[in-house]
Amino acid sequence: MRSPFLGLFITCLFCVIGARALAQAPGASQGESTFEYTKRMYREVEGLKNIAPEVFARDVDRFREQMERYVFHKKRVCNGEFSTFALAPNEAIIDTVDAGPHMQRKLNPEEKKLCFKELKAFQVTYINNLFTSRRRYLEYLHELRTRELDQAREEALNSIKRSFAWP
């Protein structure tokens, strides 16, 4: 069972990292900041545990590709391969990258550590939700196979009854 503080911690990490990293994310829709991309990916990870078992096999591959792209991007952000846009003191947030009030800089060691902690928390959430979804899928498959087995048993018993029936 997850602690309610874990969700709060993850949300705080969003705010800290997202406010500092406004670089365009690969795979993000046009005009979507890294912070928005991160929020969207967290929503999708939460939705992973609710994938219908009937479409699990189809959807999980698409989802895995999205996660791999996001994790690859986030590792690059945390390693400082992108410059981040940090706001100077008392400045308003401006969404456009080419706006004047932003200054470019790399993440400091504390921010890097926090960035990797956020990435780890994201991956743990992903693994746990994928496990939940896979378990539901396996239970669904088990139920299908059990019904097929019951049907095969009934057909075999009916066949035996018919073969020994007297005219």
pLDDT in tens, 47-78: 888 889 989 988 898 889 999 999 998 888 88
Which residues fall within 8 angstroms of residue 98, CB to CB, at 6 or more apart? none
In a domain, 161, yes or no: no
The domain of 15 spans 4-141
Counted domains in the chain = 1
In a domain, 167, yes or no: no
d(CA 63, CA 56): 10
pTM value is 0.64
In a domain, 107, yes or no: yes
In a domain, 56, yes or no: yes
In a domain, 77, yes or no: yes
Segment 84-131, tens digit of pLDDT: 554 444 444 444 444 444 445 677 889 889 989 999 999 999 999 999
In a domain, 152, yes or no: no
